[in-house]
Structure 1
Amino acid sequence: MKKFLTLCLLLLAGATRAQGVMQFTTDNHDFGNVPEGTMATYEFKFKNTGNQPVIIANVQASCGCTTPDWTKTPVLPGKTGIIKAMYNSAGRPGVFNKTVTVTSNAADASKVLSIKGSVLTKEQIKPTLTPAQLAQSPHLVLDRGIHDFGKMEAGQQPVARFTVKNTGKTELVLGALSSGCYCVGYKVNPAPLAPGQSEVVELLYTQRQLGQVSDAVTITSNDLSGDAKITLRATIVRDLTGTSMMKEGTTSVPFK
């Protein structure tokens, strides 16, 4: 009986020790000075020094301005994984200090990682650069500044596609897109654009206000010459085929 109890205790102790361990290279990162309009990104790397796979259940940022990403597959013993923290500096000049909380099945089930830095406006950065450095800076060029959707029905969600090109000498980093109406969604590749490289930006327009509308969209970046502007226009009617139609003789035509 004693041998049986001893065996059970040994098995229990072994099961308790059978767990993944996330050993991080560092749990905090200081970006230093960050140019406003860029996406400050850092990858926290960890190694599983335990004897069981580590599965990350969730990574929660302390604010909406910080977007996390992480290794979604199980990290086997001896292998490495990452927790990526991305801070959107657009419209947020000044000091920032944010955290991301990692929840997993590791021995330390909840781990807090922190990022900090100071966002400098383009006006603050320019005086610190030499003429040669300014000449080497990136430059954002749009293929056009206006898109007119024409007549559209309320509730439609049309997409406008713009081409962004970096005509500067160093990498162009696109930041957030914003609009005063909060009616524009966007899709853009977060990877930096090399000199001469182009990228397509998709804008999803969800404006529901009837009549002729015009909304400005700002594209932030690390282009020191300023942010890019796009204007979206449309004439929005309640119903293209029903109540917004009028009779002209025997032919139905849309209101003009």
Structure 2
Amino acid sequence: MKQLFSLVAALLMAAVAQAQGVIQFEKELHDFGNVPEGTMATHEFRFKNTGNQPIIIANVQASCGCTTPDWTKTPVLPGKTGIVKAVYSSAGRPGIFNKTVTVTSNAATPSEVLTIKGNVLNKDQMKSSLTPAQLAQSPRMVLDRAVHDFGKFEAGQTPSAKFTVKNTGKQDLVLSAILSQCYCVGYKNVPSPIKPGQSAVIELVYGQRKLGAQQEQVTITSNDLSGDAKVTLKANVVKDLNAGSMVKESDSSVPFK
């Protein structure tokens, strides 16, 4: 009888051990090849749950801050598929890259390592590696203006400026990093790809803290092989907008009320 109980217990334990999700990726390495500097190189690693229990991805950790991961947040049922997305920001990172993304889940293999690699080329290198026909297929970024003056504002405020961007090229225009010496300019919202012939409004947020007259040269990078767009932001940053603002009341000068 004891032997029978032991056999039943062993079978139950084996069944419990086998009752797990199994995460199976279509591939664990993606090579982007040559990537134009300024683009956000994106790849979705697809996987299938070939086990018999739901898979829940607990975390996805990139090997560097230049890679932004995303993944399927809901449980992936047996037989269903999910994704792990890796986005590599190539702005200011010319040269060969090889980065990993570690996926942690409740699957039978609790940790999986995915790899992305490629070679970031600057615009001149990219042009030399493509034929005239390929270059003609590049997206083209056209801004409605090259200068914006915020006027006077208080230090600590973060005014924004809207620009209209048109894609006059033949492929989707993907805007990426914004470069400035002050590191005080950014997107209010991450812009979506702009289809050929279409326009979109982007909003730049200016977080300058230095007082006085300011003028920032800002570069908007993209996958436009003809070059990046440059805009100039101007402003007069003051400590207090009300300071020194006086009006005459009778024979005395008093501050604004």
Q: Which of 230, 251, 255 does residue 252 from structure 1 map onto?
A: 255
Residues of 2 paired with 1:188 and 1:35: CA distance? Answer: 23
* Structure-1 residue corresponding to 2:225: 224
In 2: Cα distance, 1:181 partner to 1:42 partner:
31
Matches within 5 A, 1:140-179: 140-179=141-180
Query: CA offset at residue 127 of structure 1?
Result: 2.5
CA distance in 2, matches of 1:61, 1:200: 31
- Tell me the distance in 1 between the aligned counterparts of 2:218 and 2:109: 44
Shift of 1:75: 0.5
CA deviation vs aligned residue, 1:166-208 (integer Å, no higher than 9, x gap): 0112222222112211112214545432211122222122111
CA distance in 2, matches of 1:172, 1:185: 18
Query: SS in structure 2 opposite 1:239?
Result: coil
Counterpart in the other structure of 2:183? 182
Q: Give the corresponding residue for 1:192.
A: 193
Q: Which amino acid aligns with 2:95?
A: G
Percent of counterpart pairs with the same letter? 69
Contact 1:188-1:200 within 8 A present in 2 as well:
no
Change in CA separation of 1:227 and 1:188 when aligned onto 2, cut-off 3 Å = farther
Superposed CA RMSD: 1.8
Q: TM-score, normalised by structure 2?
A: 0.90
1: CA distance, partners of 2:255 / 2:147: 30
Distance across 1 between alignment mates of 2:28 and 2:222: 28
Which moved further from structure 2: 122-131 or 61-70?
A: 122-131
> What is the SS of the residue equivalent to 1:249?
strand
On the 8 A contact 1:189/1:199 being kept in 2, the answer is no
* Cα contact 2:191–2:202 (8 A) shared by 1: no
Normalised by the length of structure 1, the TM-score is 0.91
Residue pair 2:46, 2:83 contacting (<8 A) in 1 also? yes
Q: For 1:47-75, what per-residue CA distance to the aligned partner results, in whole angstroms no more than 9, with x for missing partners?
A: 00111111111111111111111111111
- The residue identity in structure 2 corresponding to 1:26 is K
More deviation, 73-82/193-202: 193-202
Aligned to 1:133: 134
Count of aligned positions: 251
Alignment partners' CA distance in 1, 2:25 and 2:220: 35
The one-letter amino acid of 2:151's match is G
The residue correspondences of 1:78-97 to structure 2 (distance < 5 A) are: 78-97=79-98
Paired residues of 2:99 and 2:115 also in contact (CA < 8 A): yes
